[in-house]
């Protein structure tokens, strides 16, 4: 088993319900179980436009290899109605692998750890809630200008 960190986001449709369902759906993937999930947060779109996002971060234990996990997450996005008409388009569901154990990977389909995780309050704030050892005060301070608020526990 490998512990993975997945970031969740949605800003179209019933975003809060979609993220809550996705947290469970990822844990229901083959050889995968939810370890810990953050509260839900609301954030303004980052490098994008559209409605406010609902975000969360969760830790899972999985036996799925990185690219199989990516395929499974993208399938869940598709099932939720995700379309990709342009870069950073509003979305019904966005699932990103932030960490996959201690694996470092740079392939055309997947980069691990996620290349921009340290730049995004919508990842850092929920991650600090469930795994404070991964998020330094300096990292949190560096994204303090990105509005984010907890909306549910």
CA distance 151 to 153: 7
**Marked catalytic residue, from 94, 109, 120, 150:** 94
Q: What does the angle CA 12 – CA 15 – CA 16 come to, to the nearest 5 degrees? A: 165
The number of C-alpha atoms within 13 Å of 6 and in the hemisphere containing its C-beta is 32
Can 120 be counted among the known catalytic residues?
no
123-137 pLDDT tens trace: 999 999 999 999 999
Can 116 be counted among the known catalytic residues?
no
What is the per-residue pLDDT for 83? Answer: 64
12-57 pLDDT tens trace: 899 999 999 999 999 999 999 999 999 999 998 877 777 899 999 9
49-101 pLDDT tens trace: 778 999 999 999 999 999 999 999 999 998 887 665 555 556 789 999 999 99
Domain of 68 in residue numbering reads as 2-152
What is the per-residue pLDDT for 67? Answer: 97
Can 91 be counted among the known catalytic residues?
yes
CA distance 12 to 50: 8
CA proximity to 22, closest of 85, 90, 72, 87: 72
What is the per-residue pLDDT for 88? Answer: 57
Check which CATH number belongs to the domain holding 14 and give it.
3.30.70.560
Q: What tokens appear for 74 in the block?
A: 């993208």
**Marked catalytic residue, from 91, 109, 120, 150:** 91
If pLDDT is split at 50, 70 and 90, which confidence band does 6 have?
very high
Task: Count up the domains in the chain and report the number.
Answer: 1
**Marked catalytic residue, from 61, 82, 106, 150:** 82
Beta bridge partners of 4: 60, 100
**Marked catalytic residue, from 96, 109, 149, 150:** 96
Q: What tokens appear for 14 in the block?
A: 């019933």
What is the per-residue pLDDT for 152? Answer: 84
pTM of the model: 0.93
Average pLDDT, integer, range 135-149: 96
Can 149 be counted among the known catalytic residues?
no
Q: Strands, E, within 11-93: which ranges?
A: 32-37, 40-43, 53-62
């Amino acid at each position: 088993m490998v512990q993975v960190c997945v970031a969740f986001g949605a800003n179209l449709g019933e975003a809060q319900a979609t993220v809550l369902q996705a947290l469970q759906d990822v844990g229901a993937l083959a050889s995968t179980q939810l370890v810990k999930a953050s509260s839900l947060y609301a954030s303004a779109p980052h490098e994008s436009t559209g409605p406010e996002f609902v975000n969360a971060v969760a830790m899972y234990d999985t036996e799925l290899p990185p690219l199989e996990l990516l395929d499974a997450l993208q399938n869940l996005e598709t099932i939720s109605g995700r379309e990709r008409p342009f870069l950073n388009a509003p979305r019904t569901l966005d699932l990103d692998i932030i960490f996959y154990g201690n694996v470092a990977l740079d392939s055309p389909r997947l980069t691990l750890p996620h290349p921009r995780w340290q730049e995004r309050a919508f990842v850092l704030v929920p991650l600090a809630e469930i795994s404070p050892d991964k998020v330094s005060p300096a990292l949190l301070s560096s994204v303090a200008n990105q509005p984010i608020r907890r909306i549910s526990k």
